[in-house]
Chains A and B, each alone.
Chain A
Amino acid sequence: MNENPIFSLALHIALLSLVAVGGVASIVPELHRQTVELSGVLTEQQFADLFAIGQAAPGPNVLFVTLIGWQLAGFPGAALATAAITVPTCTITYFVSRVWERFKYARWRIAMQKGAVSVTIGFVAASALLIARAADQNLTAFGITAATAAIALWGRMNPLWALAAAAGLGLAGAV
């Protein structure tokens, strides 16, 4: 059976979406493990590239998986990956929103959220480490990462300018 890796990946994406609290950032490490480390359907560089495009393009950042799907299996792959990341969570949201008022202030509900947040922070930090390691092949790139982080944290301008400047630097052959 030589089926396209998109099918097993879509299943993973659907499962992972259920723990992707706050968006795609927390599940990047597992997406990386599945596509780069285990199955090798993407190279380290492709993964970093696609993630970067997903961040720079408009729209919800979960569409990063659309790019992975496209890379693996063209348009059907993109459609499948997008459905996998959105359909389960949207369905949950739709139904839970009907009963939300009932347990909004429940102690267990607040504990669940607080508990999930600390674990999620660890995952996002792991994503940061992975993506930075893939993208920062030299000192200039490392400097760009540090500068963009600083701008996003303390700067007053839209961090998109940092992305544009970095792409410009790269275009000029500096990275």
Chain B
Amino acid sequence: MSDSASDSAVLNPEQKVPALSELFTGFLAISLSGFGGVLPWARRMLVERRGWLSEREFAETLAFCQFLPGANIVNMAIIVGSRFHGAAGALTAFAGLVGVPLLIMLACGALYLHFGEFEMLRGALAGLAAAAAGLIVAMAIKMALPLVQERRVSAILFALAAFAAVGLLRLPLYWVVLVLAPLSMVWCYWRPR
């Protein structure tokens, strides 16, 4: 890809517009292949296989999704869907992404409700829960590392304050967000380093 081509960030003029059914199957495929981390699969599907986004558009869309509340991949489905087909596209992409996992989740929930106390399953769940805890520990470390490496002292302090307030003091998250987030944002605005 040449630089001049990637400079036209907004819409690739020769891009074909996918039909609603294609949006649905595209995001369905993403949701099902996304065991243990959906985003790499989303990139492969949206950029490489279907060509709905350029490499750069994908990166920019992801940055946007990370800015907004909610799961990144859900936001991405809304953005990509609405870009091609407005509200109908957003709903279709969302349904494709969430529909089947939702059914699987319901089946798991039903199984858990009925068999969750079975001796054998208890053991498996205990092991699974311990591993799932490991995933989120890793996620916290992965997110915190750049702050430490770049020695962003104020950001580290805000993270520690949020951790202490919610994790150690068990304060309601609402109050912690209302106090810490604006402070942290204002701090970043005036002291960008």
Q: Chain A residues in contact with chain B, CB under 8 A?
A: 15-25, 27-30, 33, 37, 46, 48-63, 66-67, 70-71, 75, 78, 82, 85-86, 89-90, 92-94, 96-97, 100-101, 104, 107-132, 134-137, 140-142, 144-153, 158-160, 162-163, 165-175
Contact = CB atoms under 8 A, between A and B. Distances in A.
A148 B97 contact: no
Given A123-B162, A148-B131, A89 B156 contact: no
Nearest to A100: B64
Interface string B80-120: 00110001001000100110111011101110110010001
Given A134-B129, A175-B130, A167 B70 contact: no
B128 A170 contact: yes
Given A51-B132, A114-B188, A131-B132, A93 B116 contact: no
Interface residues of B, number: 99
10 contacts: A33-B170, A59-B104, A82-B102, A121-B159, A122-B161, A141-B129, A148-B138, A152-B135, A162-B134, A167-B124
A170 B127 contact: yes
Contacts of A97: 64, 78-79, 82-83
Interface of B: 10, 31-32, 34-38, 60, 64-75, 78-79, 82-83, 87, 90, 94, 97-98, 100-102, 104-106, 108-110, 112-113, 116, 120, 122-144, 147, 152, 154-156, 158-168, 170, 172-174, 176-177, 180-189, 192
